Amino acid sequence: MMPNYSQLIATGSYLPERVLDNHELSTWVDTSDEWIVARTGIHSRHLAAEGQGSVDMATRAAERALAAAGLQATDIDLIIVATTTPDQIFPSTACLVQARLGNQGAAAFDVQAVCTGFIYALATADQFLRSGAATTALVIGVETMSRIVDWQDRSTCILFGDGAGAVILRAAQQPGILSTHLHADGRYAELLQVPQAESHLTMQGNAVFRMAVRTLGDIVQETLSANGLQSSDIDWLVPHQANIRIIQATAEKLALPMERVVVTVGKHGNVSAASVPLALDHAVQRNCFRPGQLLLLEAFGGGFTWGSALLRWT
Ligand code: COA
């Protein structure tokens, strides 16, 4: 029988050892712990070591997800990596991770949708598994944001960090992932971008903030309507970890108490495509989710791009 769904069966994550807290960052640029915490909810971020890159971090997260699933790398027949910060222009990060893991032959490619990258990658893997084109997928979000951040620009450098998160999806007869929703509007490219290779990230923070709150509110409604659900049916919100105020605004639209929202932004800041899988793994490690519960994943990022996934925990 053809599988009709995919199920998320395991998670893994990796944060580099080096922690840069707001106090230390205040010695680099003119800012303060109070300002950063009040505006963003961020206390610290992790930075990749010299010589450590996206492939290293992605491989670590993938190994942990494989171990949690009780699978070998050779059981995987699809690898999708969401990243904005590949170590090389090519080969893709997915191919380099595949070589490290040692599962030659599996399809492997990258997805670039900035902070929404993991949702785009998850939606793509879901389609492969639903159609029968693959049976077991490794989906990774990884970023070395520290390499594209301008460490002299206090309006952006306070926000970002490095890390990786991974999930394993398996084709199944039961959901699993109930629906995914992806959008983009390239007219807003200039509000959040790295204008050229070798240059730094630039952002119009206020405008990005307003668009993020609006589009995330809309996509939450779109996801509920597509599934004939009320906001009270959602058990957990697993949001992109960009800013606590954006997360709170979405939770308010869902009338969801913050105890039902997975929040990790405080300890790692915005890790772009890695934020959602880092938050997922954080909650899984703490045994937060119960079988049958409904999880709403959402993200917003440069492009602009935005997306969501609704899944029933199994
Ligand atoms: N420390 C201290 N002061 C700072 C500062 C910092 N790190 N960064 C900016 N400021 C100052 C500004 O210079 C400005 O000073 P002025 O009033 O004298 O001109 C003041 O703080 C207010 O700046 P503003 O940009 O209006 O602040 P804000 O309330 O919009 O907060 C962000 C800035 C970046 C925290 C906020 O816009 C934001 O979070 N935006 C969304 C970013 C995001 O999530 N991007 C990724 C999406 S995936």
268-286, pLDDT tens digit by residue?
A: 999 999 999 999 999 999 9
- pLDDT one-digit tens code per residue, 169-201: 999 999 999 999 999 999 999 999 999 888 999
Gap between the Cα atoms of 4 and 176, Å rounded: 10
312 is written with which tokens?
A: 């029933």
| Burial 189-209, CB ≥16 within 10 A → b, else e | eebbbbeeeeebbebeeeebb
Residue to substitute in 209, 275, 300 for testing ligand 1 pocket (most ligand atoms within 8 angstroms of CB) = 209
For atom 48 of ligand 1, the residue with the nearest CA is 301
Give the residue whose CA is nearest to atom 35 of ligand 1.
39
Does the model's pTM come out above 0.75?
yes
First to last CA, the chain: 20
The question of whether 95 is a catalytic residue gets the answer no
Cβ-based neighbour number of residue 257 at 10 Å: 8
- Residue 31 Cα: closest atom of ligand 1: 1
Compute CA distances 225 → 137, 233, 292, whole Å: 28, 12, 19
| CA distance linking residue 41 with residue 265, whole number of Å | 7
Q: What is the pLDDT of residue 197?
A: 82
Question: Is 43 known to be catalytic?
Answer: no
137-154 per-position pLDDT tens digit? 999 999 999 999 999 999
Fold of 5-172: Peroxisomal Thiolase; Chain A, domain 1 (3.40.47)
Residue 77 has pLDDT above 90, yes or no: yes
pLDDT in tens, 225-259: 999 999 999 999 999 999 999 999 999 999 999 99
Instruction: Report the atom number in ligand 1 closest to the C-alpha of 157.
Output: 7
Q: Whose CA is nearest to atom 20 of ligand 1?
A: 155
pLDDT in tens, 260-270: 999 999 999 99
Q: Does residue 131 carry a pLDDT above 80?
A: yes
Quote the CA–CA distance of 74 and 254 in Å, as a whole number.
41
Residues of the chain with CATH 3.40.47.10: 5-172, 177-312
pLDDT at 1: 65
Q: Which residue's entry shows tokens 């492009």?
A: 303
Q: For residue 201, report the distance from its CA to the centre of ligand 1, in Å.
A: 15
Q: Residue whose CA is closest, atom 33 of ligand 1?
A: 205
Indicate which atom in ligand 1 lies nearest the CA of residue 302.
48
Given this model, what pLDDT does residue 3 score? Answer: 78
Catalytic residue among 22, 115, 268, 282: 115
- The top-level CATH class assigned to 177-312 is alpha beta
Which residue has a Cα nearest atom 40 of ligand 1? 205
Q: How many CB atoms lie within 10 A of CB 53?
A: 19
pLDDT above 90: residue 18: yes
Q: Report the pLDDT value the prediction gives residue 173, as an integer from 0 to 100.
A: 95
Active site residue 115: yes
User: In the chain, what is the greatest distance between 2 CA atoms, to the nearest angstrom?
Assistant: 61
pLDDT bin (cut points 50, 70, 90) of residue 102 is very high
Q: Which residues line ligand 1 (CB under 6 A)?
A: 31, 35, 39-40, 115, 154-155, 158, 203, 205-206, 208-209, 212, 242-243, 270, 300-301
Task: Output the pLDDT for position 79.
Answer: 98
Residue ranges of the alpha helices (H) in the chain? 22-25, 33-40, 54-69, 93-101, 117-131, 154-157, 205-226, 244-253, 265-268, 275-285
